[in-house]
Amino acid sequence: MHDNTPLILLVDDEPELTAVFGDKLGSSGFRVARAESGKDALALAREERPDAVLLDLRMPEMDGAAFLDVFRKDPDFKDIPVAILTSFHEYEGEKVDDQYVSKIGANVLFEKGMDLSELVRRVRALIAGS
């Protein structure tokens, strides 16, 4: 059993990004689990049950939308907040905005280029709002 430190599941196939974001979240009082695909993220989520998920859209094996389709059908995960983490303004012909994020089952949209202290603030707000 873990302490009450929130666990963030960081799902992205860019190791540099997960290293930078993961280190910042880790030094800001979060536990961080990392996955490089939606498929790996589902396995990790079942094992660890995260408090929030930061999810890239474009990944190998299973993209963010496909991950969410499976994730949201699992009753254990329906209340876990998910932020889409992207630098794209369009994905598979659709505009990536709050409406798109909501449609695919996520809670909020985070830009990959955001300031790291802003990332921490928004992750805290995401968890607090769940």
CATH class of 7-128: alpha beta
- The answer for residues whose C-beta is within 8 angstroms of residue 73's C-beta and 6 or more apart is none
pLDDT of residue 88 exceeding 70, the answer is: yes
52-81, pLDDT tens digit by residue? 999 999 988 899 999 999 999 999 998 999
Strand order in the sheet with 31-35: 31-35, 7-11, 52-55, 82-86, 108-111
110-127, pLDDT tens digit by residue? 999 899 999 999 999 999
